[in-house]
Structure 1
Amino acid sequence: MTVRGRLQLSLRWRVAAAFGLGSFLLSSVLAMATWNLSSGYLLRQREQSAERQAEVNAKVISEELRRGGEGLDKLLTGLTTGPDSTILLYRPDELRSSGRQIDPSTLPPRLLELTRNGVPARQRLVVDGIPVIAVTLPITADVHYLELSPTLQLDRTFRFLSAVLIAGTVVSGLLGVALGAWAARRALRPLTELTAVAHRIAGGDLRSRMPERADPDLAPLARTFNTTADELEQRALRDARFASDVSHELRSPLTTMLNAAEILRRRRAEILGTAGRATDLLTSEVDRFARMVVDLLEISRSDQQTDERALEPVDLGGLVHHVLATRSDVIVPEVEVNSSAPLVIADRRRLDRVVNNLLDNAERHAGGAIRVAVLRNDRKVRLEIDDRGPGVPAELRERIFERFARGTRAGSRGTDSGSGLGLALVAEHVRRHGGRAWVQDRPGGGARFVVEIPEATT
């Protein structure tokens, strides 16, 4: 069996199971010790009591035999202690019995041999379904006494005691599991908080911190984590400021380059041969550079915290119609807007960029979008954009949403290669709105890019 196929319990449940197992084993040892001591003591007491009673009865019978034995039958009847007890008196060529009648042949042969030989003995056995203690005693040289004393009450006591001990062991094990789960939850609470804070930081909330701890064992962990988070936040802010500053500084020379490229493009017919091809390559790279600078500016803004003042109710269906109306795509996609699609609380500028980037991606890499849908799905607004391309391989479906990742076109150059930032901006903007973006196969072939954002609550 592989490691993945094995059942992996969480640390909390491993601790709970260890507590439960330890409690169960300890309770089992105590229960077994209690059972052995108590059952042994009760059994010895009952055997001693049966033996003393048999000795007394044997003396009474001996006195009666000295007097002639005329009232022996009446005496034997009076000596039985209950309906389930039996007395057997062996005399030469005679066997007298009293109490519960049994067939002597059902008794163990060894016990009968000891009785006939006049050897004192004691034995536990079951006769006709009733547990008894058999005691044999010699009365005279040729008269021998055998008494069977029932132990039904003792057996009921044993069953009750065993049931109590078993139930106590099981309950102790369950209490151990409950105690272990409680102790593990208490002990792992700081780790749970650490995980939650780390998850928020990974989601972009760089201001999340662990609360200060008075516990001397936990305080260093909280301080170290918060210090690391502070350094991470400062580094992210420095990187964002650097990208923003560089992008802003590039805008002026970029504007000059774009104007020069536009002049070269208008006079392309006058430039022949190798110079013409170099001009085409230069103007395409300038256009690509311009798109990259714009995307870098957008990235630098997206790395900052979302301005709550920019959030407003947005009709995603209306926004899609507006975006498509302002574009000049060669292929006009089919638009499907669910009439019950609700509003979303969002930054309209960011959502506008999301739709444009997805349409640009479809046009640049998949021959254009053929369907744009706005649907409602489980209290979320769902945006779907289908294209006519070859689809996205499964191993690249997460990677294409990373910065500067361009899938199978990585490393290529040209006007259609893109900057590798468009889908990263889509994922970033959607995440800022509490949603997620992914790509899947489109029924009939091609790719379907999907965006889901929580609907506005009333």
Structure 2
Amino acid sequence: MRRLTLRWRVAVALGLGSLLVASTLAIATWNLTSGYMLRQREQSGIRQAEVNARLVDESLRTGSHGLDELLTGLSTGPDSTVLLFRPGQVLTSGRQVDAGALPRRLLELGRRGVPAAQRLVVDGIPILAVTLPITSAEGTYVELAPLVQLDRAFRFLSWLLVAGTVASGLLGVALGAWASGQALRPLTALTAAASRIAGGDLRARLPAQTDPDLTSLATTFNATADALEQRVVQDARFAGDVSHELRSPLTTMVNAAAVLRRRRAEITGTAGKALELLTSEVDRFARMVVDLLEISRTDQRADDLALEPIDMVVLVGNVVGARPGPVVPVETGASAPQVLGDRRRLDRVVANLLDNAEHHAGGAVRVAVFSRDGAARLEVDDAGPGVPAELRDRIFDRFDRGARAGSRGGDIGSGLGLALVAQHVQRHGGTVHVEERPGGGARFVVEIPEAER
């Protein structure tokens, strides 16, 4: 199960806390308010029933003939009911209610002369039943006072408290999300800056912070980034200086090797084999120096891209057509993808992939350029044995030659060609990877975001 992010964990925790507090307050408010209102209503109903019972008792004691009219006047509303239980007689006024629907225990208390009150629901209407004895006639006076208004007030109060509790929980979640977002904003900026540095942008820095708690973090991070940038630039400058200084003696060595290669037929035996080994190593050394110069130049000037709209089909076709040997046909899609890039570096990307296929995998057998999901996709298939899964990431590292590590020979390479490919593609915001080609071999895939047209 996917775990919630820190921001949402904080938001949910604050929401649950708000919900708990609001629920506690709502329950306390409900108990206090409903209990108070109910007690007041019961006391009012009992006092009114006592007054009415005394009037009925007085009427029965004096022998008044207006008992029915009196009972009718005592019923205060359409939902109220007055019942007078006398030996062998039950008089009713107001809303007609079956006497059998009343609790027997309540009536027994009234007959024994014990006043009693109870809340009931009769015919779907909540009522307060008050039972009082009538001493003059050995009877029982029962008054059913409706609690409809009180019930409505309770319903409204309950819905109000429930809605307030839910709203408090949601507000807590929203407030927690906002507060955690504000608190994590520096961490987001730190993550973005670290990602940019990891992607090769050594100039990424955190903005100056006014919060004392964050000032030390920003200062330490920026100081670390400055030191890293200086170290990388120094290393790149050193590699560039060394490579540049090697070019003059290397040129002499290459020319001398070319002269010796032309006289190879005159040198036999062990000396001839040594000459072949020497010339192949000189050639590999020359390629390594050129690649080192390219890498150091890129490391020192990360933002020197000469960006222009480039038709990838035309660029790849030109590179493939300019190479010696059989021309590999270039497969294209329905539309020619265009990218915003540096033509020289993209030329180098295509050339290095073709060189890699030629030197290590029997040559390229297929080159394709097309659009896919908003990116220009270049595929170079070779006829080699393929790249093992455990080496597919390592081969783009500098000086990593995969299974040929430690080998020597003219076709081994310097271990920098694919590193240059990865570096140039990354500078264009793209990706490069290797996968298995259908039918065997390796397929090198470059994807660069297309330019807006």
Please report the TM-score for the alignment, with normalisation by the length of structure 2: 0.93
Match of 2:329? Answer: 334
Worse-superposed segment, 18-27 or 382-391: 382-391
Amino acid at match of 2:40: Q
Shift of 1:405: 2.3
Worse-superposed segment, 42-51 or 72-81: 72-81
Please give the secondary structure, in 2, of the residue aligned with 1:411: coil
Match of 2:78? Answer: 83
Amino acid at match of 2:365: I
Contiguous gaps of at least 5 residues in structure 1 = 1-5
Work out the CA distance in 2 between the residues paired with 1:429 and 1:454: 13
Shift of 1:449: 1.6
Work out the CA distance in 2 between the residues paired with 1:434 and 1:402: 18
Work out the CA distance in 2 between the residues paired with 1:93 and 1:344: 106
Match of 2:286? Answer: 290
Shift of 1:69: 4.4
Amino acid at match of 2:348: R
Work out the CA distance in 1 between the residues paired with 2:68 and 2:394: 104
Work out the CA distance in 1 between the residues paired with 2:150 and 2:270: 113
Match of 1:130? Answer: 125
Contact 1:12/1:185, CA 8 A, preserved across alignment:
yes
Work out the CA distance in 1 between the residues paired with 2:15 and 2:99: 52
1:118 has 2:113 as partner:
yes
User: Which of 156, 160, 164 is the aligned partner of 2:156?
Assistant: 160
Worse-superposed segment, 9-18 or 158-167: 9-18
Q: Deviations over 1:386-428 (max 9, x none)?
A: 2223333333332222222223333333333322211110111
1:349-360 equivalences in 2 (<5 Å): 349-360=344-355
Please give the secondary structure, in 1, of the residue aligned with 2:370: strand
Q: Deviations over 1:308-344 (max 9, x none)?
A: 5733333332222222222124x53221234632443
Please give the secondary structure, in 2, of the residue aligned with 1:344: strand
User: Which of 1, 7, 16 is the aligned partner of 2:2?
Assistant: 7
Amino acid at match of 2:161: L
Work out the CA distance in 2 between the residues paired with 1:307 and 1:127: 86
Match of 2:30? Answer: 35
1:410 has 2:431 as partner:
no
Please report the TM-score for the alignment, with normalisation by the length of structure 1: 0.92
Please give the secondary structure, in 1, of the residue aligned with 2:25: helix
Match of 1:255? Answer: 251
Match of 1:315? Answer: 311
Worse-superposed segment, 400-409 or 170-179: 400-409
% identical equivalent positions? 71
Match of 1:170? Answer: 166
Contact 1:386/1:447, CA 8 A, preserved across alignment:
yes
Q: CA 1:339–1:85 in 2, change beyond 3 Å: closer, same or farther?
A: closer
Worse-superposed segment, 273-282 or 384-393: 273-282
Contact 1:125/1:132, CA 8 A, preserved across alignment:
yes
Worse-superposed segment, 110-119 or 131-140: 110-119
1:215 has 2:217 as partner:
no
Match of 1:180? Answer: 176
Work out the CA distance in 1 between the residues paired with 2:147 and 2:93: 18
How many residue pairs align between the two structures? 452
Work out the CA distance in 2 between the residues paired with 1:258 and 1:16: 68
Query: Over aligned residue pairs, what C-alpha RMSD do you find?
Result: 2.2
1:246 has 2:242 as partner:
yes
User: Which of 53, 61, 64 is the aligned partner of 2:56?
Assistant: 61
Work out the CA distance in 1 between the residues paired with 2:219 and 2:81: 83
Worse-superposed segment, 37-46 or 270-279: 270-279
Work out the CA distance in 2 between the residues paired with 1:309 and 1:107: 94
1:104-115 equivalences in 2 (<5 Å): 104-115=99-110
Work out the CA distance in 2 between the residues paired with 1:373 and 1:419: 26
Contact 1:332/1:370, CA 8 A, preserved across alignment:
no
Shift of 1:247: 1.1
Shift of 1:118: 2.0
Contiguous gaps of at least 5 residues in structure 2 = none
User: Which of 364, 370, 373 is the aligned partner of 1:369?
Assistant: 364
Please give the secondary structure, in 2, of the residue aligned with 1:119: coil
